[in-house]
Amino acid sequence: MGEPMLYVVEPGFQTTVQDVGRPGLGDQGISPAGAMDPLALRLGNLVVGNPSDAAALEMTLIGPTLRFDAEAVIALAGAPFEATLNPARLPGHAVKLPWWQAVRVQAGDTVALGPATVGSRAYLCVAGGLDTPLLHGSRATHLLAGLGGIEGRALRVGDRVKLGQPSQSLDRLAGRRLKRSVWPVYSNGVTVRVVLGPQAGRFTEAALENFLGQPYTVQVDSNRMGVRLSGPLLTHTQGADLLSEGIALGAVQVPASGQPIILMVERQTTGGYTKIATVISADSGLIGQARPGSLVRFQAVTVDEALAARRAQEALVDETHIEQRMEQAWGVAEVLAVMRQFADSGLGELRLATGGVKLVLRRDPALPTLPTSSSPTEQQAEPPSSGFDITAPLLGIFYIAPAPDAPPLVQAGARVEAGQVVALIDVMKTLHEVRAEQGGEVEAVLVDNGTLVEYGQPLIRLR
């Protein structure tokens, strides 16, 4: 039997191997990288019995589809994404995976993560961690530097990631969960605490009032290096430039544009722009979860208050906050839905496992199939639709043309074929192609060029 692996069927938008990063290398020009929401990663590792700094998968905005080549125990942590087990086996009735709970998966099982419903980043933690090569004591991926993880990049289709050795038997780990009372709360609008400085004195009084009194909007070109904000201008009194100095996590840098940038885990190690404040470490994960279009407000606190918040957060990463869930993870309605779909599927046997509970369904030819709840009229096939919409595969800026002076990729009246590129979406400074799933004639382009679109939003209507 080979080494236990997970196989990447679909990579999602930006899925990387992350741990808590590699601090202490700033003098060599290397920022720490690591999880954008370190508390979520550490709590997820706690659920599956790992050291809190074990490597896991960080998923951004839209998650991957992964197949496990060996039995394992996993836990989902962080912002909630749509998550299902073996969706292709029972289309429409796949088992939904719980959050903050250790779930047992079998060899051949597929875990599919869809879009984030709130926030932007989730973590898939595996008992034993991910066994990628260590670099300076860490497995974290630094995308901008091309270091760590899997070749210093986001996962691609066909990648295989080696799993580590669990600390306990899978039987003991399956069913563990984080107590509901300590679950982090995620929102698309956050207030984060900051310590003013080090150059707060180089801003006008009006700028400080705006910074602490008005909301700022997260921009689509934010990434793991920095979260860019737009809002009321922050006016300097002596200009934006200064001699370069070291940059801390959470530093709120304000260039000459007057628009703040919160520097994150892949930040530059030195910088020469004024910094109006620094987000406290206990709230850095809130910024790591901010998604384009969400609102951020700032609240000033003292250094002592920042240290107290850090101590309170550290107290959450404790084994006493883990409990054992013994009951099965499926509700009655879910079990009946799976049984009904299985009865109509033609499969001889189906094995599912979640929350430490195994469900085995076998077909008995001597027994009648389960009746359906639909009436004969409801079972009749619906007439085919005369048209359909091409929807946004992820959140970002919609472009119908590849450049400002280029012709549109499609326009009303044009004929498109299945698989043809019909638009582009820009997110985190990366262009992603939007393709037609089937051919047709363009009836209308539903979104203006350069508009921020949400996942699933209709973009182009075909007939």
CATH superfamily entry for domain 189-314? Cyclophilin-like (2.40.100.10)
Q: Domain spans of the chain?
A: 5-182, 189-314, 388-462
Of the candidate ranges 60-74, 177-191, 207-221, 427-441, the one whose mean pLDDT is the lowest: 427-441
Q: Give the pLDDT confidence score for residue 384 in this predicted structure.
A: 47
For the cut 60, the answer to whether the pLDDT of residue 447 exceeds it is yes
What confidence category does residue 426 fall into, taking pLDDT thresholds of 50, 70 and 90? confident
Q: Give the pLDDT confidence score for residue 374 in this predicted structure.
A: 44
Q: Give mean pLDDT, residues 22-40.
A: 95
What confidence category does residue 86 fall into, taking pLDDT thresholds of 50, 70 and 90? confident
Say what percent of the chain tops pLDDT 90.
Answer: 71
- Backbone φ and ψ for 314, nearest 5 degrees, come out as -60, -35
Q: Give the pLDDT confidence score for residue 14 in this predicted structure.
A: 96
Q: Give the pLDDT confidence score for residue 372 in this predicted structure.
A: 46
Q: Give the pLDDT confidence score for residue 358 in this predicted structure.
A: 57
**pLDDT digit string (tens) for 89-134?**
766 667 889 999 999 999 999 999 999 989 999 999 999 999 999 9
Q: Give mean pLDDT, residues 202-212.
A: 97
**pLDDT digit string (tens) for 356-397?**
455 666 666 555 544 444 444 444 444 444 678 998 887 888
CATH number of the structural domain 388-462:
2.40.50.100
Q: Give the pLDDT confidence score for residue 91 in this predicted structure.
A: 64
For the cut 70, the answer to whether the pLDDT of residue 335 exceeds it is no
For the cut 90, the answer to whether the pLDDT of residue 72 exceeds it is yes
Q: Give mean pLDDT, residues 183-198.
A: 95
**pLDDT digit string (tens) for 347-363?**
666 666 554 455 666 66
**pLDDT digit string (tens) for 42-71?**
999 999 999 999 999 999 999 999 999 999
The rounded mean pLDDT for the chain is 88
**pLDDT digit string (tens) for 404-417?**
788 899 999 999 99
Q: Give mean pLDDT, residues 298-322.
A: 96
